Amino acid sequence: MTRQADRYAKLDALADYKKVYLPLLITFLVLSTYGLVMLFSASLAVSYAREGGATALFLKQAGISGFGLVVALFVALVIPIRVFNRPIIRYLVYAVVTVLLLAVPFVGTTVNGARRWIFFGSVSIQPSELAKLAAIFFLATYFSERRKKHRLKRVHKVKPRWQ
């Protein structure tokens, strides 16, 4: 098999193995589109006054949303779900988010009167937003493990009628 054919075989296997959950993708696209329309209508005058064009903020946010979609699809299609079930990954996510939250009072930057942002070069993050994602991740793994344990308890309670 040639290199090109081997690469296409891997892509076909990936396409067959993992499918995008279409309702979630449609929900993401609808909510993103709705948010972009609301942003455009609310920031039209501000964008024109600050940026010199009526669509500057809209295009910036659309680019960020597109980047988020690409990252989400990459994570969903390329990284196997069992990677996220490893305890070391969970502990690493919790540790990083906790350190970032604790670092805000010391290295955070004040924006609009509130110290909530951490700047890494030209990229700024708000650790509380990462904490929301970590909370979702924590609850998903917690309920997944709880369901597995609960199912096992039920199996052990089943006894034959003659006992």
Q: Do 84 and 158 belong together in one domain?
A: yes
Question: Where a domain ends, among 79, 95, 120?
Answer: 79
Q: Do 12 and 34 belong together in one domain?
A: yes
Q: What backbone torsions phi and psi does residue 125 show, to the nearest 5 degrees?
A: -130, 155
Structural domain for 5, as ranges: 1-79
Question: Where a domain ends, among 26, 46, 79?
Answer: 79
Residues (pLDDT < 50) of the chain are 13, 16-17
What's the confidence (pLDDT) of residue 2? 63
What's the confidence (pLDDT) of residue 100? 94
- Predicted TM-score (pTM) above 0.75: no
Q: Do 84 and 155 belong together in one domain?
A: yes
